[in-house]
Amino acid sequence: MGTDETPGSDNRRKELPAEVHDDGQGEEHGAAPKQDERDERDEQASHAGRKRLTEALWPPRVTRPQLIVALLLFVLGLGLAIQVRSNNDSSALRGARQEDLVRILDELDDRTQRLEDEKQRLEDQRTGLENSSDQAEEARKQTVEKERQLGILAGTVAAQGPGITLTVDDKKGSVEADMLLDAIQELRAAGAEAIQINDVRVVANTHLSDTDGGGVRVDGHKVGKPYRFKVIGKPQDLEPALNIPGGVVQTLEKEQATVTVAGAQKIVVDALRPAKRPDYARSSSQ
């Protein structure tokens, strides 16, 4: 009996590890396919989610209210951009000193007053012609006066009167013709009645150009340096017009030119231009 039980117990002890070992391998081989299936399902779900998100975002679906809001925002942005640009354009005046702004306003007032005076003078001439007992004599006097004025403007007669001298010493050779033209335009706007640059009379059809070797030509005549402007007009109007912020004097000084403006009670403009008959224009009264 003792001998029979011992082998049996030995057999059970030998079989037990084999059964346990077999069960462990079964569980291990069975768990791996389940984990792969879960990973595959998760990947499919993630792919499906990305696909739905892509379909929802592209192509974009714009509704009519969204389009209207976008258009309104565009118009608002455009308006703000225009406003900012207009504010930047006036930054030069905003940065000017108070005395400079006062001088600019005074110059505008003076220009307005000159126009009013010219209007009144013409009205007085008309009234004198209408009320004069000898209208022919009055008309002759006005014609002579008008001829004198036109002769000064055309440069065919000499002129003298109060005014200024403008001297531009361009040692660096950086002053160009358009800068001198800006000075002429500014002087005319300030009421200059006669202008002469060195030995050349400035008239309505005067043109300026740069020379190849440096320098400026006025109506085809090369003028030497320094450039001297003799201007007849009201000094109180001419000088401030050249010295306004960002004006002629500052522009020339940025080019390293030396600019001098001096007022005088008597300026003589004696450079003359030959009278030229127009080739095509004729008086409409003929």
Q: Which of 275, 267, 276, 272 is nearest to 200 (CA)?
A: 272
The closest alpha carbon to 155, from 188, 191, 200, 208, belongs to 200
Query: For 21-54, b where at least 16 C-beta lie within 10 A, e where not — what string?
Result: eeeeeeeeeeeeeeeeeeeeeeeeeeeeeeeeee
Q: Please, which residues have CB within 8 angstroms of residue 182's CB and are 6 or more apart in sequence? A: 248, 251
- 42 or 237, which is more confident? 237
H-state helical runs in the chain? 2-57, 64-89, 91-94, 98-131, 135-154, 177-189, 235-242, 248-254
Contacts of 64 (CB under 8 A, 6+ apart): none
- Residue 267: per-residue pLDDT: 95
144, pLDDT greater than 70 = yes
Give the separation between CA 191 and CA 204, rounded to whole angstroms.
14
Tracing tokens 């030069």 back to the chain, one arrives at: 92
Model confidence pLDDT, tens digit, residues 2-53: 444 444 445 444 455 544 444 444 444 555 556 777 777 777 777 777 777 7
Query: Measured between alpha carbons, how far is 208 from 222 in angstroms, rounded to an integer?
Result: 10
pLDDT average, residue stretch 260-283: 88
The answer to which of 19-23, 171-175, 224-228, 269-273 has the lowest mean pLDDT is 19-23
The answer to whether the CB of 271 falls within 8 A of the CB of 201 is yes
Check residue 91 and give its pLDDT. 53
Residue 143 burial class via C-beta count within 10 angstroms: exposed 0-12, middle 13-18, buried 19 and up? exposed
Shortest CA distance to 197 belongs to which of 215, 223, 175, 174? Answer: 223
For tokens 């004006």, the residue is 247
Each residue of 183-234: pLDDT tens digit?
999 999 999 999 999 999 999 889 999 998 788 999 999 998 999 999 999 9
pLDDT of residue 31: 53
Comparing C-alpha atoms, which of 174, 169, 168, 171 is closest to residue 187? 168
What is the rounded end-to-end Cα distance, in angstroms, of the chain?
164
Lookup: tokens for 134: 């000898």
User: How do residues 75-103 score in pLDDT, each as one tens digit?
Assistant: 888 887 777 666 555 555 666 677 777 77
Q: How far is CA 66 from CA 10, 55, 57, 69, in A?
A: 86, 19, 15, 5
Q: Residue 159: helix, strand or coil by DSSP?
A: strand
CB 247 within 8 A of CB 176: no
Please give the mean pLDDT across all residues of the chain. 79
Cα 196 to chain centroid, rounded: 32
pLDDT given at position 274: 86
